Amino acid sequence: MQSRLSSDKRVILISGANRGIGRAITERLYDNGYTLSLGARKPESLEQLTAHVDECRVMTHKYDAHSAQSAGSWITATYERFGRLGGIVNNAGIMHAFDVESGDESSLDEMWEVNAKAPWRLVRAAFPHLKQSGAGRVINIVSLSGKRVKSAGVTGYAMTKIRAGRADPRDSIRGMGEW
């Protein structure tokens, strides 16, 4: 029986791979034989993680979730290096704690930019390669705060994360083959 984490020679992009859940996902997928393209705002933050890996299976790239151009250049660099792309783990995110009364619009805008728009941009830039793979996958990491808010101080964060969790890129290719 094939493991659910079988690599099948897939190349996976992981945003926010340098710490927390992103780091744990990176370690698990690497241990299961996947080829990885790791994105972080500060690529040097990935040095410890990648110090003892097979350089033929792992690349790092500067990825600024605020920038559509950054998403495109990361996808291009990954495809040029590995010649294929099989999936994306959208993990990068930010949180500014504030409530409706104290929050400022710029903090909310930044959370929308990183938590909701950035995953969409990555999927859009990678879409031709994901379709070409015949079995492309997209995983959007969200927060339980997106479903239920226990603290009034994270209302804006919850709004942006629930939106990211409701995005389903498969809707764009229904009827175009197995996804």
Residue 123 near residue 68 (C-beta atoms within 8 A) = no
Q: What is the spatial distance between Cα 150 and Cα 131, in angstroms, rounded to a whole number?
A: 39
Q: What is the spatial distance between Cα 126 and Cα 72, in angstroms, rounded to a whole number?
A: 8
Q: In the 8-state DSSP scheme, what is residue 150?
A: S
Name the active-site residue from 30, 63, 79, 157.
157
Residue 35 near residue 12 (C-beta atoms within 8 A) = yes
The verdict on whether 30 is a catalytic residue reads no
Q: What is the spatial distance between Cα 113 and Cα 120, in angstroms, rounded to a whole number?
A: 10
Report the catalytic residues: 157
